[in-house]
Amino acid sequence: MPLNPSRAERPSSLRDYAYRELRDAIVSGELAPGERLRDPELEQWLGVSRTPIREAIARLEIAGLVRTERAKQTFVAPFDTRSTLAAQRIAAALHELAVRDAVPQLTEADLDAMREANTRFAAALQAHDVEAAIAADDDFHGVAVRASANPLLPGLLEQVTPLLRRVERARFGSLAGRGSVADHDRIIALCGAGLADEAGVAARENWSTLGRLLQLEPQRDADADAEAGAASVTETP
C-alpha cells in the first residue's frame, strides 16, 4: 500500500480526491495487479471515510482498474489485453471527434501550446522519462479536448484513458507504443491549415499505435511458448 498520497490541493469533493489518488497509484504500479484493497487500510492511507472510498472504487471498476469478487473483496485488476484494446478504440474515436470539433476554434495560442507540449514530449522520449512523456502527451491532446468545447468528452475519456496509461507504463517503458513526435507535428500542421477531417483522422491514427502493438502480444506469447517447447524437446535425452 503506498505510504504518502499527495495531500496538496485536495478537491472539495473527497470522492474525487480518493478516486484520483487510487487511480494514480494503480496506473503508476504502486498498487500492483492482484493487490487487495481493504477499506480500513485505504481509510488510513487517504485520511477519508469509507463512503468516498467506496464511490471511488465504483468509478475505478467501471474504468477496468479494479475488480470486486463475489465475497465483496476488491482487487487491483490484472492486465487484460482485450479490455485495453476496447479502451484504445474508444479513446481513438473520442480524440478524433475532439480534433474535428476543435479545429475551427483553435487559436494561435492553442497551436503554440500543442507545439510546446510536443517539444516536451520529444525531450522526455530522448531522456527515457516515461512519466514526463505521458504528461506531455496528455497536455498535447488536452488542447483539442478543451477547444472542442464538448462538455462530455473529458468524462468519457477519463473512463478509458487510465487503463491505457497503466499498460503504457507497464509494457511500453520505451514509449514505442505511443504516437511519435512526427505524428504530433502532422496533427499540428493539419490543425493550423484548418483541415478538420484530416486532422481528426491523424489523431485517431496516433491513438491507434498502442492498439496495433497490443494485438501483437498474443502472437509474441505464442512464439515464446513455442520456442520454450522446442528447447525442451532439444534438451530431452
Please check whether residue 151 lies inside any domain of the structure: yes
Give yes or no for residue 172 having a pLDDT over 60.
Answer: no
- Global pTM value: 0.80
Burial class (CB in 10 A: 0-12, 13-18, 19+), 189: middle
Which residues, including other chains, have CB under 8 Å from residue 18's CB and lie 6 or more apart? 42, 46, 48, 52, 53, 55, 56
- Looking at residue 71, the DSSP 8-state letter turns out to be T
* Backbone angles phi and psi of 68, in degrees to 5: -115, 120
Given pLDDT bands bounded at 50, 70 and 90, which one contains residue 221? very low
* Backbone angles phi and psi of 182, in degrees to 5: -65, -35
pLDDT recorded at residue 165: 87
Alpha carbon distances (Å) from 236 to 2, 151, 224, 225, 232: 46, 63, 18, 17, 6
Nearest to 166, CA basis, from 55, 56, 59, 81: 81
Count the domains in the chain.
2
| Same domain for 89 and 70 | no
| Same domain for 159 and 69 | no
The model's pLDDT over 31-46, given as tens digits with 9 standing for 90+, comes to: 999 999 999 999 999 9
| Same domain for 26 and 90 | no
Average pLDDT over residues 37-65: 94
Residue type at 219 in one-letter notation:
Q
| Same domain for 131 and 86 | yes
Given pLDDT bands bounded at 50, 70 and 90, which one contains residue 16? very high
Domain that includes residue 94, residue range: 81-223
| Same domain for 87 and 130 | yes
pLDDT recorded at residue 125: 85
Please check whether residue 135 lies inside any domain of the structure: yes
| Same domain for 171 and 108 | yes
Mean pLDDT of the chain: 84
pLDDT recorded at residue 6: 55
| Same domain for 151 and 102 | yes
The DSSP bridge pattern shows strands 66-68 and 74-76 to be: antiparallel
Full strand arrangement of the beta sheet holding 36-37: 36-37, 74-76, 66-68
The CATH number of residue 27's host domain is 1.10.10.10
pLDDT recorded at residue 217: 52
pLDDT recorded at residue 69: 86
| Same domain for 203 and 99 | yes
Calculate what percentage of the chain has a pLDDT beyond 90: 61
| Same domain for 200 and 105 | yes
Calculate what percentage of the chain has a pLDDT beyond 70: 79
| Same domain for 103 and 56 | no
CA dihedral 14, 27, 94, 204 (to 10 degrees): 160
The CATH number of residue 188's host domain is 1.20.120.530
| Same domain for 91 and 64 | no
